[in-house]
Amino acid sequence: MAKKKETGKSTKKNGGSGLTWMLVFSVIIIFILVAQLQEKNKRIALLEGKDLHHGAQNSASGVLTALDKENLKKTAEKALPTLINKAPSVGEKWLLVDIKFPKSDCIAIDYEDGHIFGTVTYKIINPSDPDTWIKQ
């Protein structure tokens, strides 16, 4: 009987499976890192006053459009009690009197309750989230 000479090749059928799993694992890690980088870029843009999803500022000029101002007015009206942050003295609720935009990244809200009149100004960070606005 003749013996077969071993050539040094693996007789294992799944010899490349370890390499395949390593490649799959590497691709998954790359996708996770890219997603984290995108999230970090969104946070940086929000801190710079640019909302990537809602387009509150024209990134080239920093100017609010008419649609942006209308959306901000609606948002401010819904969040009026939170933005004023004090209870009305006479009426049951605060009434929105006027909204102005003294700067492209600021909103001035005039309010009253029938007895007290006031104005509060905020710097707009995320236009759709008044909790991120900074009182001036």
For the chain, give every domain's residue range.
66-135
Asked if pLDDT for residue 14 goes beyond 90, the answer is no
pLDDT bin (cut points 50, 70, 90) of residue 57 is very low
Report the run of H or E that residue 84 belongs to, with start and end.
helix 80-84
Asked if pLDDT for residue 56 goes beyond 90, the answer is no
pLDDT bin (cut points 50, 70, 90) of residue 66 is confident
**What end-to-end distance do the CA atoms of the chain give, in Å?**
95
The span from the CA of 3 to the CA of 9, in Å, is 16
Mean pLDDT across the chain: 79
Which of 3-12, 38-47, 124-133 shows the highest mean pLDDT?
124-133
Position 8 scores a pLDDT of 53
- Identify which has the larger pLDDT, 132 or 65: 132
Asked if pLDDT for residue 9 goes beyond 80, the answer is no
Note whether 130 and 76 are within 8 A (CB): yes
